[in-house]
Structure 1
């Protein structure tokens, strides 16, 4: 089992902070438009560091929601960000820290939380691999037409006589 963990670790651990992509920034912007003010934990531009959220941070974020924003919409937007491959990758790092709403580190991620992030990241990678390789079905012979079936039966009967 230890070999498997080391193999998995090599695919889930980076030596540098995990940088946000344009897609991560779009997800962060989807959260920001639902809030009365920007929050420092979200990336503003590609290349900004993705930072794992402190435990219970959603409650702080929800307190900043615009009056007309439903909690479900906010939860979905935040969920889209925190259940992404790059967020899991950032959380899986051996030196991962949780951050407050302003983006300041508050505590290291527990070993258990890092392992969960690694497993989810590997699961996402496997799912992406399965969906990215197109399945090629072997060609199947077309069913013979009624005419071909009659012809084959007559030829078979003629050979037997």
Structure 2
């Protein structure tokens, strides 16, 4: 049995769109400001726009386990969209969407993944609420870290999850 997670996180931040997009697109710097990101390493550089680049991420949330996965950039529209495909401890896709609304920058992140660890899939039927909580805490840490980095304020943080067993 495999567990499918569909996370949607939205940050509304009082900061310029270009600064927010730069912070997200420069993922090698995430460990400097995003608690929970233990390491990011570039494995492949991709084309001039970064399409095809691959980075290895190691994350640790509030519960004591780590995820390591490689993320290949599959789409990039400056100031609008960043997409990637993950392989490793999790398998799936991520999509950052950026836009301005009511003088705020909105960052919406879609993360559609399947754990690739047997133990997680075994306990997911009872532990899914804990896994969802942990993910949302890591994303909240990202919003707070970005606010500190950009000397800005987070105006709102929203998170939702769909979980299914297959």
Is TM-score (shorter-chain normalized) higher than 0.5? no
Structure number with larger C-alpha Rg: 1
The structure with higher relative contact order (CA 8 Å, sep 6+) is 2
TM-score by length of 2: 0.28
Structure richer in strand, relative to its length: 2
